[in-house]
Structure 1
Amino acid sequence: MAQLSDDCFAFGGPMMSVDDAVGLIAARVSAVQERESISLHEADGRILANDIAAPLPLPPFTNSAVDGYAVRGSDLPLQAEAVFPVTGRVQAGGSAQAPLQAGHAMRIFTGAPMPVGADTVFMQEDVRLDGNGRVVVPAGLRPGANVRPAGEDVAAGHPALKAGQRLRPQDVALLAAFGLPHVDVRRRIRVAVFSTGNELVSPGDRRGDAQLFDSNRFMLGALLARLGCEVSDLGIIGDDRAALAGSLEQVGRSHDLILTSGGVSTGEEDHVKAAVERAGTLVLWRMAIKPGRPVAMGIIGGTPLVGLPGNPVASFVTFVHVVRPTVLALSGAAQEPLLPMPLRAAFTYKKKIARREYVRVNLRQAPDGVLEATKFPREGAGLLSSLVDTDGLVELGEEVTRVELGQTVGFLSYASLM
Structure 2
Amino acid sequence: MGCCDTQGLLPIEDAIQTMLADVSPLKISQKLPLETALGHVLAEDVRSPIDVPPFDNSAMDGYAVRTQDLTTTDTLPLAGKAFAGQPFSGEWPEKTCIRIMTGAPVPTGCDAVIMQEKTEATPEGIHFLTSQVKAQANIRPQGDDFKQNEVVLPAGSRLTVRDLPLLASLGISQVLVLRKPKVAIFSTGDELKPVGEKLDAGQIYDSNRYAIRPILENFGCDVIDLGIIPDNQTQLTETFQQAQSLADVVITSGGVSVGEADYTKTILESLGTINFWKIAIKPGKPFAFGKLNHSLFCGLPGNPVSAVVTLYVLVQPMLAKLAGHTQWQAPAQIQATSKVSFKKSPGRTDYQRGVFSVENGQIVVDNAGNQSSGAFRAMSTANCFIVLEQQRGSVEAGETVTIEPFNPALY
Matched residue, 2:126:
135
Worse-superposed segment, 157-166 or 59-68: 157-166
Matched residue, 2:32:
38
Shift of 1:401: 2.9
Structure-2 separation of matches of 1:175 and 1:246: 45
1:340-392, CA deviations, whole angstroms, 9 ceiling, x for partnerless residues?
232211122343445211111123454x4533111134331000112112222
Shift of 1:14: 4.0
Matched residue, 1:5:
none
Question: Contact 1:241/1:274 (CA < 8 Å) preserved in 2?
Answer: no
The correspondence for 1:356, drawn from 325, 349, 353, is: 349
Shift of 1:141: 1.9
Structure-2 separation of matches of 1:364 and 1:339: 16
Matched residue, 2:4:
none
Structure-2 separation of matches of 1:85 and 1:364: 56
Worse-superposed segment, 101-110 or 310-319: 101-110
Structure-2 separation of matches of 1:69 and 1:346: 56
Question: Contact 2:19/2:289 (CA < 8 Å) preserved in 1?
Answer: no
Secondary structure (helix, strand or coil) at the match of 1:403 reads: coil
Shift of 1:308: 0.3
1:88-147, CA deviations, whole angstroms, 9 ceiling, x for partnerless residues?
211101222135343221111110001000020111121111124x21113112111111
Question: Contact 2:58/2:113 (CA < 8 Å) preserved in 1?
Answer: yes
Structure 1 residues without counterparts, runs of 5 or longer: 1-12
Structure-1 separation of matches of 2:145 and 2:237: 56
- Go from structure 1 to structure 2 and tell me whether the alpha carbon gap of 1:404 and 1:71 turns closer, same or farther (over 3 Å shift): same
Secondary structure (helix, strand or coil) at the match of 1:31 reads: coil
What is the one-letter code of the residue matched to 1:226?
N
Secondary structure (helix, strand or coil) at the match of 2:246 reads: coil
- Go from structure 1 to structure 2 and tell me whether the alpha carbon gap of 1:96 and 1:377 turns closer, same or farther (over 3 Å shift): closer
Pairing 1:210–2:176 present: no
Secondary structure (helix, strand or coil) at the match of 1:176 reads: helix
Pairing 1:312–2:301 present: no
Structure-2 separation of matches of 1:275 and 1:316: 24
Matched residue, 2:12:
18
Pairing 1:71–2:65 present: yes
Shift of 1:159: 1.8
What is the one-letter code of the residue matched to 2:43?
A
- Go from structure 1 to structure 2 and tell me whether the alpha carbon gap of 1:275 and 1:103 turns closer, same or farther (over 3 Å shift): same
Matched residue, 2:319:
327
Pairing 1:300–2:283 present: no
- Go from structure 1 to structure 2 and tell me whether the alpha carbon gap of 1:125 and 1:377 turns closer, same or farther (over 3 Å shift): closer
The 5-angstrom pairing of residues 340-355 of structure 1 reads 340-355=333-348
Question: Contact 1:345/1:408 (CA < 8 Å) preserved in 2?
Answer: yes
Number of residue equivalences = 402
Question: Contact 1:276/1:298 (CA < 8 Å) preserved in 2?
Answer: no
Question: Contact 1:81/1:139 (CA < 8 Å) preserved in 2?
Answer: no
Matched residue, 1:189:
181
Secondary structure (helix, strand or coil) at the match of 2:42 reads: coil
Shift of 1:211: 0.7
Structure-1 separation of matches of 2:389 and 2:408: 18
Question: Contact 1:261/1:315 (CA < 8 Å) preserved in 2?
Answer: yes
Worse-superposed segment, 43-52 or 407-416: 407-416
Pairing 1:232–2:224 present: yes
The correspondence for 2:331, drawn from 323, 327, 338, is: 338
1:205-239, CA deviations, whole angstroms, 9 ceiling, x for partnerless residues?
34212111110012101111112221111111111
Residue identity (%): 34
What is the one-letter code of the residue matched to 2:292?
I
The correspondence for 1:87, drawn from 75, 79, 102, is: 79
Question: Contact 2:348/2:390 (CA < 8 Å) preserved in 1?
Answer: yes
Matched residue, 1:8:
none
Question: Contact 1:71/1:100 (CA < 8 Å) preserved in 2?
Answer: no
Shift of 1:154: 1.9
Structure-2 separation of matches of 1:244 and 1:224: 22
Matched residue, 1:58:
52
Matched residue, 1:175:
167
Shift of 1:187: 1.2
Worse-superposed segment, 269-278 or 215-224: 269-278
Structure-1 separation of matches of 2:172 and 2:279: 45
Secondary structure (helix, strand or coil) at the match of 1:274 reads: helix
Structure 2 residues without counterparts, runs of 5 or longer: 1-6
Shift of 1:27: 3.0
Worse-superposed segment, 353-362 or 293-302: 353-362
- Go from structure 1 to structure 2 and tell me whether the alpha carbon gap of 1:101 and 1:399 turns closer, same or farther (over 3 Å shift): farther
- Go from structure 1 to structure 2 and tell me whether the alpha carbon gap of 1:120 and 1:402 turns closer, same or farther (over 3 Å shift): same
Structure-2 separation of matches of 1:81 and 1:287: 78
- Go from structure 1 to structure 2 and tell me whether the alpha carbon gap of 1:360 and 1:412 turns closer, same or farther (over 3 Å shift): same
The correspondence for 1:407, drawn from 383, 399, 411, is: 399
Secondary structure (helix, strand or coil) at the match of 1:258 reads: strand
The 5-angstrom pairing of residues 1-12 of structure 1 reads none
1:268-306, CA deviations, whole angstroms, 9 ceiling, x for partnerless residues?
404322221122221112211110010011311131110
What is the one-letter code of the residue matched to 1:135?
I
Structure-2 separation of matches of 1:350 and 1:141: 64
The correspondence for 1:160, drawn from 152, 165, 168, is: 152
Structure-2 separation of matches of 1:243 and 1:28: 28
- Go from structure 1 to structure 2 and tell me whether the alpha carbon gap of 1:380 and 1:102 turns closer, same or farther (over 3 Å shift): same
Secondary structure (helix, strand or coil) at the match of 1:88 reads: strand
Secondary structure (helix, strand or coil) at the match of 2:20 reads: helix
TM-score normalized with structure 2 length: 0.92
Matched residue, 2:142:
150
Pairing 1:118–2:110 present: yes
TM-score normalized with structure 1 length: 0.91
